[in-house]
Amino acid sequence: MHDLRHIRREYQLKELSKASVNADPFLQFSEWLKEAIDAKVQDPTAMVLSTVSNEGRPSSRVVLLKQVTDNGFDFFTNYLSKKGQQLKNKPFASLLFFWNELERQVRIEGKITPLPTKESDGYFLSRPLQSQIGAWASPQSSIIEGRNALENRVKEFDKKFKVEAISRPPHWGGYRLEPDLFEFWQGRESRLHDRIEYLKSSGGWEHHRLAP
């Protein structure tokens, strides 16, 4: 086993101050996301989605951000999956973006609401055909006998949709996280990182610096 205690590096690329950030956290996020895309960060829209069970046990997994609006952050998944069931019972979640190449992360917390049917339909039909078929074929988070069982289901739905138009499965669609908290983190030397937190209030957004 490797000795993990000494694996570390210094963060020295950039700095972040309360005076330098945008007063609107959505605009600040958009600026950082654009910089990540322009810098060709691998999978810049990948985010860790954390949910919680009825027993208070957290679960995390990586999903892809598909849209940012003035109202929130949109992603899509199987409603019957583990995360889908947890979001149904406990409609709050957190998102975490980590852009290693820029030594940055963004943490976002808020309430979850399902997207309107029309929006889920529109996004589903924009996906590649094999991804559409996969959404029908995979009973996400359920126990299956093996890879062959999954591949056989894909073949069945592939055959089915060769003779009829494909549509969105009723068990698949989108969610929107409506934020009430943002935290922007910029790595700095000696672990004295810059952290700016935004909290939603009745008057809009307030932001302040946090200790690293």
Alpha-helical segments (H) within the chain: 25-38, 82-89, 117-126, 129-137, 147-160
Residue 196 in any domain: the answer is yes
Structural domain tally of the chain? 1
Which CATH number do you get for residue 19? 2.30.110.10
pLDDT number for residue 194: 98
Residue 177 CB-density burial (10 A; 0-12 exposed, 13-18 middle, 19+ buried):
buried
Residue 92 in any domain: the answer is yes
CB count in 10 Å sphere of residue 105:
19
Residue 191 in any domain: the answer is yes
Token pair in block for residue 210? 């946090």
Q: Grade residue 203 by pLDDT with cuts at 50, 70 and 90.
A: confident
Question: Active-site residue 5, yes or no?
Answer: no
Residue 49 in any domain: the answer is yes
HSE value, Cβ hemisphere, 13 Å, CA-based, for 49: 25
Question: pLDDT by residue (tens digit) across 45-90?
Answer: 999 999 999 999 999 999 999 999 999 999 999 999 999 999 999 9
Residue 134 in any domain: the answer is no
Considering the candidates 57, 147, 191, 209, report the single residue annotated as catalytic.
191
Question: pLDDT by residue (tens digit) across 114-149?
Answer: 999 999 999 999 999 999 999 999 999 999 999 999
pLDDT number for residue 205: 97
What domain range is 76 assigned to?
A: 4-115+171-210
* For range 29-51, the mean pLDDT: 98
Q: How far apart are CA 96 and CA 47, in angstroms?
A: 5
Residue 149 in any domain: the answer is no
Residue 28 in any domain: the answer is yes
pLDDT number for residue 64: 98
pLDDT number for residue 113: 98
Q: Grade residue 2 by pLDDT with cuts at 50, 70 and 90.
A: confident
Residue 123 in any domain: the answer is no
pTM of the full structure: 0.93
Q: How far apart are CA 134 and CA 155, in angstroms?
A: 10
Tell which phi-psi region holds residue 126, choosing left (phi > 0), alpha (psi between -120 and 50) or beta: alpha
Question: pLDDT by residue (tens digit) across 166-194?
Answer: 999 999 999 999 999 999 999 999 999 99
